[in-house]
Structure 1
C-alpha cells in the first residue's frame, strides 16, 4: 500500500511537468483576470463614456445569450477536426479583438453588437483548452487526472478573485477605456503560455464507440439529453450569483448600514473558500461520486440563500457566503469533468455547452431578481435562488439515478 502511494504522482507535479497542463493553467488565469476585471466595470463604461441610461446598460448582459450558440458551433467544429489548440487561439484572438473594439467604441450600439457577435466566440477559448486536456489525459492516463483538471480550473477562479480588484484600481488610476484595453491584452496573452504547442500525436485507443472525428461530431440530440439536463440544473444553481451580486451589496449598505470594509469582507470571503475547497471536492468525489456531492452542493446553495433572506446579521451573511464557497468549490471543481463524462463522444461540444451556461444563468438571474426585488423586496428576493437551488438538488438526484454510478 505504501509503495502504491509512493508511485502515485501528485496532481501538481503532473501539471508542472506537462507543457499543455502548465500552459493551460497560466492561460486560464489570464482569461479569468481579464474577464473579471471588465465584468463589474462595463455598465459604468456604457453610462459614463457612452451616455447610456442605467436601464439600457443593464440590457448589455443579454448579449451573453449568443455565447452558448457560438460555443456550440466552435465545439462541433473542434470535435469534427480535433484541432483544439488551433481553435483556442482563434477564439482568444477574437476575444482580444472584441475587447479592443469595445474600448475604442464611440457609439452606444457598438459594444452591444461587438459583444453579441464577437465576444460570444471568445468564450469558447476555455472550452477548447479543457477539451485538449481531456484528450491528453486519455492519451496519457494518470490516476490524478481529476486533480489535474481541478488545478487548471482553480487558475480560472484565482483570476476571478484578483480581476475585479485589479480592474477597479486600474480604472480609477487611468480610465475605463484603459481598463478595457488591459482586458483585451490579457485575453490575447492567453496564447503566449502555450506557444506553438500542437495537439499530441498520441491518442487514446479507439473503441467501437469512437470511430472517427467526423462521426463523433454528429451527436444526436437524444445522446445529449443527460448533458443538457445537467447544464440546465447548473444554470438554476448559478442563477443565484447575479441576484446575490446585484442585491446583497444594496441590502448590506442600504438596509443593514454595514461599513464598507465589512460589506467587502462578506463579499470577498466566498472565492477564497471556493479555492480552498476545490481540491477537497475532488478527493471527496472519489469516495461518494460527483453527482451525489453536487446534490450536497446545491443544498448548500439553498441554505446560503435562506441565510441571506432571513438573518439580517453580519454573522448570518458570513455563514451564507461560506456555504456559497462550498457550492462553487464543488461545482467549479467538478462541473467540467461531469459534463465531459456525460457526452464522451463529443468532448469539445460538451465543454463548450457547459462553460457558456453562466451566460444563460446571468439572464435568468437578472430577470428573476429584478421581478423579485420589485415585488417581494429585499431581503426576501433571496428566497428565489433558494428555490432554484432546491429544484436543482432534486433534479441532480433524478439525473444520478438515470445515468447510474458512472459519474
Structure 2
C-alpha cells in the first residue's frame, strides 16, 4: 500500500472544522448522558413518557435534517444552514433552563433541537465537499480523523457534565451547553467559507429517497437503523441501568461514557487505512459483532466496574459504525454530500426514535436489564442485513450515480412538460 503523507490527507480549513466539530460534540455529550436523569428527576417523566419524548424529538430531527440537507445541495449555502442549526441548538438547550413542564418542553425542544440536529451532518457534508475539491486528499481518512475529534469531545463532555451537574445542577449543565453552541455559531460565521450549492452550479444532486431503490443502500440503511436503535437504548438507559440496577454513582456514569469515547479515538484513526485494505463492509460486519458482544455482556453484568470493562467492545462498535458508516453512505452520493450525510444522519435519528419508544416500553414493563437483551438482538440483526448485501464497488457506484441522475432529469423534464414550461 502506497504511503500517503499526512499533510496531503488534511483539508483546507481543517483546524476550523476540528474546533467546530469538537465544540458540537462537547455540547451534545455534556447533556446527552444526563437527559434521562433530567426527565425523571426534574420533569418527573415516567419511563414511557421519557421514551415518547425522545421519540418525538427524533422525528423532528429526521424531518429537519432531510429538508435542510436537500436544501444545502440545491439552493442554500451550507454555511447558512449551519448558522441556523447552531442558533436553534443554543435556544433549544436554553429552553431546558426555563421550561420544566412536559408538553411545552416537548414542543419547544422538538422544533429547536430538530433544526439544531443539522449542525453535525452539515459540518461533515462540508468536509466531504471540501475533500472533493482538493486533489490527492484521502476523503475517508479526513472524515474519520474529524470524527475522532467528535469522540474526543465525548471524553471531555460527560466528565465536564458530571462536574457541572454536581456543582451547578441542571441549570449549569444546560447553560454551558447553550454557550458552546453560541461559540459554534461564531466560528461558522467568521471562519466557514460560503460556497454556492451544487444545484446553483448546475449539478444534478441525486434525491435522497431515490437512492433507496438500490438494494445495497436499503440493506445498509436497515442495518444502520438497527445499530442506532440499540445505541439509542444504551445511551438513554445505561445511566439508569448503572445507577438503579447496578447501584453505581453518577460519576460512574460519566466514567463509562468517557472511557468508551476515549477508546474510540485510536480505533477511528486506524480505520482509514484498514478500510482501504479490507473494505468498509467487512469492518461494519465486525463492528456489529462487537456490539452484540457488548450488549450480551451488559445483560449479564452484576457490578458497575463490569460496564467499564465492556467498553472496549462498545467503543469498537461505535467507532466503526459512525466513521466507516458515514463514509460508506457518502460513497453512494458523492455529488450530493448534504443529502448523503442527511440520509445517514436520518438512520441515526430514526434509530433514536425507535430506541426511545422500544427502550421506554421495555424499561417500564420488564426492567433496565432486559433492554440490553433486545439491544443484542438488534446488533445481530444489523450483522445479518449487512451480510445479505454485497460489497459496493466503484463500477456499481458510477452506474448508480448515472442512473439516479438520469432519473432525476427525466422527472424534472416530465414535470416541466406537464406545467407547460
Structure 2 length as normaliser, TM-score? 0.81
Q: Would the aligned equivalents of 1:242 and 1:365 in 2 still touch at CA under 8 Å?
A: yes
Q: Would the aligned equivalents of 1:244 and 1:382 in 2 still touch at CA under 8 Å?
A: yes
Give the CA deviation at 1:256: 5.2
The 3 A distance-change label for structure 1 pair 258 and 34 is closer
Q: Would the aligned equivalents of 1:136 and 1:200 in 2 still touch at CA under 8 Å?
A: no
- Residues 224-250 of structure 1 show CA distances to partners (whole Å, capped at 9, x for unaligned) of 644454233112112222333455555
Q: Which residue of 1 aligns with 2:312?
A: 322
Map of 1:25-174 to 2, 5 A cutoff? Answer: 25-46=18-39, 55-62=48-55, 63-81=57-75, 83-105=77-99, 107-174=101-168
The 3 A distance-change label for structure 1 pair 53 and 328 is closer
Q: Would the aligned equivalents of 1:80 and 1:213 in 2 still touch at CA under 8 Å?
A: no
Give the SS at the match of 2:204. helix
Q: Which residue of 1 aligns with 2:378?
A: 388
Give the CA deviation at 1:58: 4.5
Q: Would the aligned equivalents of 2:23 and 2:180 in 1 still touch at CA under 8 Å?
A: yes
Tell me if 1:198 matches 2:188. Answer: no
Selected match of 2:172 from 174, 178, 186: 178
Selected match of 2:259 from 257, 266, 269: 269
Larger deviation, residues 371-380 vs 183-192: 371-380
Give the CA deviation at 1:133: 1.4
The 3 A distance-change label for structure 1 pair 14 and 315 is same
Distance 1:211 1:100 in 2: 35
Distance 2:250 2:172 in 1: 26
- Residues 27-70 of structure 1 show CA distances to partners (whole Å, capped at 9, x for unaligned) of 11111111221223444445555565665444321222210111
Tell me if 1:278 matches 2:251. Answer: no
Give the CA deviation at 1:384: 1.5
Q: Would the aligned equivalents of 1:294 and 1:330 in 2 still touch at CA under 8 Å?
A: yes
Distance 1:136 1:52 in 2: 44
Give the CA deviation at 1:184: 1.4
Larger deviation, residues 51-60 vs 68-77: 51-60
Q: Would the aligned equivalents of 1:25 and 1:151 in 2 still touch at CA under 8 Å?
A: no
Distance 1:125 1:236 in 2: 23
Distance 2:158 2:226 in 1: 24
Distance 1:39 1:289 in 2: 32
The 3 A distance-change label for structure 1 pair 211 and 288 is farther
Q: Would the aligned equivalents of 2:245 and 2:369 in 1 still touch at CA under 8 Å?
A: no
Q: Which residue of 2 aligns with 1:300?
A: 290
Q: Which residue of 2 aligns with 1:336?
A: 326
Distance 1:108 1:250 in 2: 20
- Residues 283-311 of structure 1 show CA distances to partners (whole Å, capped at 9, x for unaligned) of 11110111111011111112222222346
Paired residues in the alignment total: 393
Distance 2:208 2:102 in 1: 40
Larger deviation, residues 186-195 vs 26-35: 186-195
Q: Would the aligned equivalents of 1:289 and 1:405 in 2 still touch at CA under 8 Å?
A: no
Larger deviation, residues 40-49 vs 121-130: 40-49
Give the SS at the match of 1:141. coil
Larger deviation, residues 182-191 vs 66-75: 182-191
- Residues 190-233 of structure 1 show CA distances to partners (whole Å, capped at 9, x for unaligned) of 13334243246899xxxxxx995563255662556444542331
Q: Would the aligned equivalents of 1:81 and 1:213 in 2 still touch at CA under 8 Å?
A: no
Distance 2:112 2:257 in 1: 31
Tell me if 1:287 matches 2:283. Answer: no
**Which blocks of at least 5 consecutive residues in structure 2 are unaligned?**
398-421
**Which blocks of at least 5 consecutive residues in structure 1 are unaligned?**
204-209
Selected match of 1:216 from 205, 211, 215: 205
Give the SS at the match of 2:99. coil
